[in-house]
Amino acid sequence: MEDQIVLSSRVRLARNYEDLPFDLSQHLDEADACINRTMNALALAGVQERYQLLRMCDLTENQRQALVDDHRISCDLLRAPQTAAVLLDDEHDVSIMMNEEDHLRIQAVHPGMDLLSAAASCFRVDDALSRQVAFAYDKQLGYLTSCPTNTGTGMRASLMIHLPMLTHYKQMGSVGQIVAKVGLTIRGVYGEGAEALGHVYMVSNQVTLGRTEQEIISTVTAVGHQLCDMERALRQKAMEERRAQTEDTIYRGWGVMRWAHLLPLNEFFKVWSAVRMGAAMELLPVPVKALDELLDQVQDANLRAMTERSLQGDALSEARAQVVRRSLRRAVHKEGD
Amino acid sequence: MLCEECKTNEACYTVSVMAGDEMTTRHLCAECMAKMNANFAGGNIRNLLSSILSAITGTETPAPQEEDSGVVCPRCQTTQSQFTRTGRLGCPACYEAFREQLQPMLLQIHGRVQHAGRQPLTTEDAQRTRSRQEALTRQMEQAVALEDFETAARLRDQLRALAGQKEDA
């Protein structure tokens, strides 16, 4: 049951229009043309009603950050807000980012370990568009992208994965070497540098040229399985060799999440990680799905959006604690039914 | 020893870079290490430290006064030195203009230089496949109408094989 360790699967395709320069941040007319062309293509394909267009220049900084925290857009999209935009299909969890590093970045996120479904969602959009427009493509080099590191399939397949015991037992260095051998990379999702707050990592392919999309998905999936096996083995080891300490961390974390009234973000990450592990090991009466949703909801921008106030400091910590308490109360009662 | 990137601070980190089967090592100070981590977080080599970029591409980064090949993209006027400096190309036509220079870099990054994945539906091959699919579908419907189910089944299998090919392409 990899979903106990893998939070979500993401596939992203990079595409560019044949006739436009890659970087449109200084070319407002062409940037607009890119957006209009994409929307017209979706209309011709009969799927335009699924999408909501959001131009970054029409959003507040907080609204933009909330989209990043929800994994609907990348941070890079905010580098040139005057030209950047995104088309969101909430029903299918698909985003089409426009005027980021490439003209189009089609992205789909699915919960758990399911790269195939995420890829299928992306390919549907890709096919719908490529029937109507001319993408930059070369028989030898594949889809042409702004940076040669993305050329070929233009595909990045990633797994968001929770590895508390691999981190605790200081195995992430060798994990990095293992994944590098098959052309993948792993990095912490939250925090600066090597922090990996919440012990949440993203493992993704680095190689995009010379392999089929299916091969890339298979490789990332296989590595995902391997990491899950390694993590599970260490969780078992922790329960065998230091049961009391492990359970203490889990149940203390549970206590804080259930009852604290002030929850700063760094502390949230610590207790969330312990509680998610506890839930995955069926020691706690809460589904991991509820905890994964919480992870997005408690980020600063989402709290501000939810309360419609520009919260800071203690007020943020208080709002976070409230969201966490409410969410866990609901989740625990559902489990009890 | 001195940091290989800024050549000013004392190096206290060792970074190993795997390029294909080769492992190269670079020694960095805390500042440059932090910069590298920030760049890697973006997942691309744009703005990569010159010493790491040279480890990946297997070439020494050219000294500022070194001549480039003089190739310029006819569409967007991007020069080779601009591309080497930023790690980004100017427009799709750059790939043709710099095709020769790109080969070793693509080989280092991806290990191969021949695309094996999907293609846009408007390319010739895809159009040919689509016409063949339409012809087979018409024949299959005809066979069904004439109650020649053996032929219809054979045509259905051919259609499936074609669809399978398209998925792999």
Top pLDDT among B23 and A261 is at A261
Task: Give contacts of A 135-154 with B, CB under 8 A.
Answer: 135-144, 146-153
Q: How far A292 CA sits from the closest chain B CA (Å)?
A: 22
Examine the pLDDT at A94 and tell me if it is beyond 50.
yes
What pLDDT, in 10s, does the model give residues A226-237?
999 999 999 999
Examine the pLDDT at A69 and tell me if it is beyond 70.
yes
Interface A–B counts its CB contacts (< 8 A) at 128
Are residues B168 and A181, on separate chains, in Cβ contact within 8 Å? no
* Confidence (pLDDT) at B66: 42
**Closest CB from A146, A208, A213 relative to B110:** A208
pLDDT band for A147, please (50, 70, 90 cuts): very high
**Closest CB from A76, A144, A194 relative to B95:** A144
* Confidence (pLDDT) at A216: 96
Q: Does A76 touch chain B (CB under 8 A)?
A: yes
Complex ipTM: 0.83
Are residues A211 and B116, on separate chains, in Cβ contact within 8 Å? yes
Can you list the positions of beta strands (E) in chain A? Answer: 6-15, 52-55, 85-89, 94-98, 104-111, 137-138, 142-143, 155-162, 184-188, 200-205
Instruction: Tell me how many degrees the CA angle A293-A297-A301 measures, rounded to the nearest 5.
Output: 150
- Reported pTM: 0.78
Q: How far B86 CA sits from the closest chain A CA (Å)?
A: 9
Are residues A148 and B102, on separate chains, in Cβ contact within 8 Å? yes
* Confidence (pLDDT) at B169: 42
Are residues A138 and B18, on separate chains, in Cβ contact within 8 Å? no
Are residues B168 and A212, on separate chains, in Cβ contact within 8 Å? yes
Token representation of residue A231? 């993590």
What pLDDT, in 10s, does the model give residues A152-161?
999 999 999 9
Residues of A in contact with B106 (CB under 8 A): 141, 148, 151, 209
Q: Is A107 helix (H, G, I), strand (E, B) or coil?
A: strand
Top pLDDT among A96 and B54 is at A96
Q: How far A87 CA sits from the closest chain B CA (Å)?
A: 21
What mean pLDDT, rounded, does chain A reach? 93
* Confidence (pLDDT) at B68: 60
How do the pLDDT tens digits run along chain B, 169 residues long?
777 777 777 777 777 776 666 667 777 877 777 777 666 554 545 455 556 666 656 555 444 444 466 788 989 999 888 888 888 999 999 999 999 889 988 998 898 889 999 999 876 666 677 778 888 888 999 999 999 999 999 998 888 887 665 544 4
φ/ψ (deg, to 5) at B112: -145, 160
Amino acid, single-letter form, for residue A24: L
CA distance A81 to A16: 19
**Closest CB from B42, B116, B120 relative to A135:** B120
Are residues B106 and A147, on separate chains, in Cβ contact within 8 Å? no
Q: How far B157 CA sits from the closest chain A CA (Å)?
A: 22
**Closest CB from A18, A152, A156 relative to B92:** A18
Token representation of residue A112? 């758990």
Q: What is the DSSP letter of A150?
A: G
Give B69-130 as a DSSP string. Answer: ---B-TTT--BHHHHHHHS--SSTTHHHHTHHHHHHHHHHHHS--S--S---TTSHHHHHHH
Residues of A in contact with B57 (CB under 8 A): none
Burial status of residue B72 (CB atoms within 10 A of its CB: 0-12, 13-18, 19 or more): middle
Are residues B91 and A20, on separate chains, in Cβ contact within 8 Å? yes
Q: Which of B78, B118, B124, B168 to mutate to test the interface with A (most CBs of A within 10 A)?
A: B118
What pLDDT, in 10s, does the model give residues A183-219?
999 999 998 877 899 999 999 999 999 999 999 999 9
Residues of A in contact with B116 (CB under 8 A): 152, 210-212, 215
Q: Does A23 touch chain B (CB under 8 A)?
A: yes
pLDDT > 70 in chain A, percent: 99
* Confidence (pLDDT) at B168: 46
